[in-house]
Amino acid sequence: MLEIRELSKTYPNGVQALKRVNLSIPKGMFGLLGPNGAGKSSLMRTLATLQEADSGSATFGNIDVLKDKDQVRRILGYLPQDFGVYPKTSAEDLLNHFAVLKGLTERKQRAEVVQGLLQQVNLYEQRKRKLGTFSGGMRQRFGIAQALLGDPKLVIVDEPTAGLDPEERNRFLNLLAEIGEQVVVILSTHIVEDVTDLCPRMAIICAGQVLLTGEPLQAIQTLNNRVWRKVVSKDSLERYRRDHTVLSSRLVGGRPVINIYSEAQPDEGFEQIEPDLEDVYFHRLREFERAA
Ligand code: ADP
């Protein structure tokens, strides 16, 4: 279990990226969901020992994450948001190099681990190819292979699906889902479906604050009978936004379809729909915006 208590961070430019963050993160996949600028990377980098917090604590089992950095690094697998590769190096060579850095000094054992990971992430056939020729999805899968070196107990992946096409994204998420349930895996993302598909537990953060944490299914249930949908005209969209809690609007066949939060039927033409995690997400964000 990873326990984060009252974690705060203000950057030298005055931006308060984390405001007394409290989270209990058990084994399994944990989704950290929030819009751009919410503080996800700041939290991930802090847990990955790459930057200091101002105050608060984080413990993983008996490891003090903020102090015992060497111990954290031994059990950590990290895929940063801006994971760069050496474009002229082959997948196999670079993974082998990372394995040396991880302390896998015995050549034969190292080769086995590297081959095994390349197979696991489905890059074995492409292992001799230069990383510069890889697609975004292949690069991210390579990133996961690198993160899994040394059997980490804490795996952190920061916005891994941004920029992947749907097929690559699916492949990547399936790979993440296969990482053991005996490991804490934190998936930070601004894409709601990433969390819906994979994560039995989650948190929503915005402006450095935790707005919600728990199980997605439970959170969704709290919106039962309270989400309504209607196809509206473009002209009336602003009026609906003013008079109602519009959770989301999207175009279907060129016409706006809006989801509204309301305890009673807003007006004729609205049909009640089954809420989903996206409704939960936008409901929390709207409430937060209103309180701000
Ligand atoms: P997210 O990962 O959710 O997009 P970040 O943690 O990257 O959010 O950013 C949170 C806030 O902190 C943003 O307002 C961002 O501009 C700011 N920020 C991030 N890194 C730095 C930094 N090194 N120096 C100053 N401000 C930063």
Pick the CATH number of 2-216 from 3.40.718.10, 3.40.50.300, 3.30.1330.20, 3.20.20.70: 3.40.50.300
pTM beyond 0.85: yes
Q: Between β-strands 184-189 and 154-158, what pairing exists: parallel, antiparallel or unpaired?
A: parallel
Domain ranges for the chain, please list them: 2-216, 221-291
Closest atom of ligand 1 to 41 CA is: 2
pLDDT (tens place) for every residue of the chain, 292 residues total: 999 999 999 999 999 999 999 999 999 999 999 999 999 999 999 999 999 999 999 999 999 999 999 999 999 999 998 888 889 999 999 999 999 998 899 999 999 999 999 999 999 999 999 999 999 889 999 999 999 999 999 999 999 988 888 888 888 888 888 887 889 999 999 999 999 989 999 999 999 999 999 999 999 999 999 999 999 999 999 999 999 999 999 999 999 999 999 999 988 899 999 999 999 999 999 999 989 8
Helix, strand, coil percentages, rounded to 5, for the chain: 35, 30, 35
- To test the ligand 1 pocket, which listed residue (7, 41, 157, 187) has its Cβ within 8 A of the most ligand atoms? 41
Closest atom of ligand 1 to 208 CA is: 10
CA atoms within 13 A on the CB side of 202: 31
